[in-house]
Structure 1
Amino acid sequence: MPADATTFAPLVLSDRINAMQESQTIAMAKKARALAAEGVDVISLSFGEPDFQTPQYIKDAAKKALDEGYTFYTPVPGYPELRQAICDKFERDNQLSYAPENIVVSTGAKQALANAVLSLVNPGDEVIVFAPYWVSYEEMVKLAEGTTITLMGTLENDFKVTAQELEAAITPRTRLIMYSSPCNPTGSVFSRAELGAIAEVVARHPQVHVLADEIYEYINFVGEHASLAQFAAVKDRVITVNGFSKGYAMTGWRVGYLAARKEIAAACEKMQSQITSATCSIAQRAALAALQGGRSSADEMVAAYRRRRDLVLELVKDIPGFRTPTPSGAFYIFPDVTGYFGKATPTGEVISSAADLALFMLNDAHVAAVDGGAFGAPNCIRFSTAAADEKLREAFIRIKNSLTKLQ
């Protein structure tokens, strides 16, 4: 070996990171970008991102914040006036009374969820996750060294878990329940009656807390949004997470929040103080303006999402083998695609899973979607409908033509 040669010990990463999966929505987006970089015309329906610009009044508030010198650290849980505005929002929209001490503003709703999981779950604790679920829930539980108990809703019940199913899954080791409504990836929405039945179950198990992800609250096609925290018997054991990315088209601003009893909020603040501290001061001022501006911009986007949902549901009627419930919220469709399992591509590869089918559609139709295995539902594929009408039409025409090649 030459005298100047340097040797290195083999790199050993932590068990924690080795056990964690990459977000499959991000992984599919990477594949789509790689194809696009080769000059392929890829239509991406993989990301859950509004295609609308952030409303101008919110952008103007950010510019004003810069001019007014909001460029310093903020309190870890967020500006007091933003937390108060979030309390006002809960009172107005959800009939829930909170004080600023109950609110923690984070760098996106994802951090709020992670803060809560890491603050409540000990190694070995069981976390019941309603499936299909958002891709990061299970990985957050892994990070906390908890045990995920997946509870799958049936397609016949719009993928919603029932109170009876929940009751049967709770054990003395159950610490936390996680779900979203409106749901990513299914678009299902729990009614007030359904949540009331779930609240009755939770009330009988005082060691159990609930993490309710309501990031799609404003994108609701069935009217009233119900929150589990509205049921007094369980309010102190519900952590409600929300944010600005979906309802206000503010994905890149990275502002989310949670509301919880003050001891849980303080724990989440403590966790956040050692990881990121407060989120961006400018983004917080923009978020404050968003809340002060009301819901009119969100309502305009919802009208477009409803139209796109109906368009896509009409298009998929012409695709045999897709079993597609009608989403009640969010901006996805989540068809069961098992009708294509066992079929072969023109080059002889057998489609044995939704992952195989999603990859075939990417390579043949040049449409990116995310297989349902990432959401705990390996028989399904998630398509985002947060794209322009003409893109959606073209995408599903391509998909229909490609799927006719499977024999």
Structure 2
Amino acid sequence: MAHLAERLNNLGSEGAFEVLAKTKVLEAQGKKIAHFEIGEPDFDTPENIKKAAYEALEKGYTHYVPSLGVPEAREAYAKYVSKTRNVEVDPGQIIVTAGAKPLIFYTMMALVNPGDEVIYPDPGYPIYSSAVRFAGGVPKPIVLREENNFRLDVDELKRMVTPKTKVIIVNSPHNPTGSVLNKEELKAILDLADGEHLFILCDELYHRIYYNGEMAPSMYEFPEAKEKVILMEGFSKIYAMTGWRLGYGVLPPDLVPWFSKLQTNVYSHAPAFVQVAGIEAYNGPQDAPKAMVEEFKRRRDYIVPRVNSMDLVHCVEPQGAFYAWLNIKKLNRPSNEVAEYLLNEAGVAVLTGTSFGESGEGYLRMSYAASMEDIKYGLDQLEKYLPKLVK
């Protein structure tokens, strides 16, 4: 093999896709698997959105468009953020991306020089730290602790900020724990940024998958966020559009041309007809996403008491997203060993806690974007097989 660039050694991966590949091999061998590994709604994209994509193709949205996005899509997405956060957003702040994930890399490539520090949640989405390292930055994990219901401790965060800190990453509702920050906590974090030397990357992909109201509190509800915050939004979770790869960012105005240049260099722009389908997602009926969230809540309300009735595991009730973060410390075994055992012996596919950072040791992530039949079967299997692991 040719000598590869050293920077490739800084890239991480996503455990969900690795476990998914293993489950496909086991299923091909005839083994029944309860799928709790993948963070993907088990619903189809609503019909009105699919129809809008077909119509966009017929209308000729099959050519190049500006790197920042289709103008009418940027306008619709800005109106949506303005409405849901009750703050004025200009379409000129919007960059439409192929999924929200590019925004993590664009942020690091635009703002982080070698040696600069980035604070991010641990446990947390693994691409955060991967992108920081790839940019040559210094990852500084802030541990989310069970005694604080896995909410970021603002006082601890304040102590971690140094003159070298360039970005703070906030994710609420949170993957993998389901924790949600309140408005006071979000405001206190926002106050740490100046929009010149220190910015906040706010991941709100699960903003509407919230169980204590229609939408979770948002950092972008504060007017000063416009100059300090890169807001990540998208369609994958709330509209069951994971395969469409459609996301967008709301950017401080000064960063817009630089993110546009990055996007031009990487893949030019997100597919035009998909961007148009996103307009229909926001402007069309909202019955399907509402029903999906109600179903996720029904599943959560079944899973949490059931898990907490078991002797060897327990979990904090998630307030948003669609994950249960199972504490398995009583088993006294490494998380990856438990996850492998459950997959191969019990037919239960979960993610090891360490897929989300070092502080995930002693935990497993269970996605309840799965049918109730799978959930009941999987929990039955946990009750049956977990006692066999006790040392």
TM superposition score normalised by structure 2: 0.96
Conserved 8 A contact 1:117-1:144: yes
Residue 405 (structure 1) shift: 1.3
Conserved 8 A contact 2:167-2:198: yes
Residue 85 (structure 1) shift: 0.5
Corresponding position of 2:140: 149
SS of residue matched to 1:140: helix
Q: Distance in 2 between matches of 1:234 and 1:67?
A: 39
The equivalent position to 1:280 in structure 2, one of 249, 264, 271, is 271
Corresponding position of 1:345: none
Q: How does 1:376-391 map to 2 (within 5 A)?
A: 376=357, 377-391=360-374
> Aligned letter for 1:12?
H
Residue 200 (structure 1) shift: 3.0
SS of residue matched to 2:232: strand
The equivalent position to 1:338 in structure 2, one of 307, 329, 339, is 329
Residue 234 (structure 1) shift: 4.3
Deviations for 1:30-71, whole angstroms, at most 9, x for unmatched residues? 111221122211122110000001000001101111211211
Deviations for 1:272-325, whole angstroms, at most 9, x for unmatched residues? 110011111121111111011153321111100000111111221232222300
Corresponding position of 1:401: 384
Residue 399 (structure 1) shift: 1.4
Q: Distance in 2 between matches of 1:214 and 1:22?
A: 21
Deviations for 1:94-136, whole angstroms, at most 9, x for unmatched residues? 0121212100000001112221222111111100002221121
The equivalent position to 1:176 in structure 2, one of 167, 174, 177, is 167
Q: How does 1:74-85 map to 2 (within 5 A)?
A: 74-85=65-76
Corresponding position of 2:37: 46
Residue 392 (structure 1) shift: 0.4
Q: Distance in 2 between matches of 1:301 and 1:293?
A: 16
Corresponding position of 1:213: 203
> Aligned letter for 2:55?
K
TM superposition score normalised by structure 1: 0.92
Q: Distance in 2 between matches of 1:174 and 1:310?
A: 39
Conserved 8 A contact 2:120-2:139: yes
> What stretches of structure 1 of length at least 5 have no aligned partner?
1-9, 342-350
Conserved 8 A contact 1:133-1:179: no
> What stretches of structure 2 of length at least 5 have no aligned partner?
none
Corresponding position of 1:251: 242
Conserved 8 A contact 1:45-1:384: yes
* Shift in CA distance, 368/133, structure 1 to aligned 2, threshold 3 Å: same
> Aligned letter for 1:368?
A
Conserved 8 A contact 1:66-1:282: yes
Q: Distance in 1 between matches of 2:158 and 2:118?
A: 13
SS of residue matched to 2:192: helix
Matching of residue 163 in structure 1 with residue 154 in structure 2: yes
> Aligned letter for 1:148?
P
The structure having more radius of gyration, on CA atoms, is 1
The CA RMSD over aligned residues, in Å, is: 1.4
Corresponding position of 1:359: 340
Corresponding position of 2:107: 116
Q: Distance in 1 between matches of 2:221 and 2:39?
A: 27
Q: Distance in 2 between matches of 1:206 and 1:283?
A: 33
Conserved 8 A contact 1:131-1:159: no
Residue 233 (structure 1) shift: 4.0
Residue 206 (structure 1) shift: 5.6
SS of residue matched to 2:181: coil
Q: Distance in 2 between matches of 1:288 and 1:231?
A: 25
Q: Distance in 1 between matches of 2:23 and 2:112?
A: 36
SS of residue matched to 1:210: strand
Conserved 8 A contact 2:313-2:328: yes
Conserved 8 A contact 2:100-2:232: yes
Conserved 8 A contact 2:323-2:365: yes
Corresponding position of 1:236: 227
Q: Distance in 1 between matches of 2:154 and 2:72?
A: 38
Q: Distance in 2 between matches of 1:95 and 1:86?
A: 14
Percent sequence identity is 34
Q: Distance in 2 between matches of 1:101 and 1:406?
A: 56
> Aligned letter for 1:281?
A
SS of residue matched to 2:314: coil
Corresponding position of 1:372: 353
> Aligned letter for 1:392?
I
Residue 149 (structure 1) shift: 0.2
Matched positions, count: 387
Q: Distance in 2 between matches of 1:26 and 1:96?
A: 37
Q: Distance in 1 between matches of 2:197 and 2:107?
A: 15
Q: Distance in 2 between matches of 1:246 and 1:22?
A: 20
Conserved 8 A contact 2:190-2:228: no
Q: Distance in 1 between matches of 2:196 and 2:259?
A: 20
Q: How does 1:289-368 map to 2 (within 5 A)?
A: 289-293=280-284, 295-341=286-332, 351=333, 353-368=334-349
> Aligned letter for 1:27?
E
Greater CA deviation, 383-392 or 62-71? 62-71
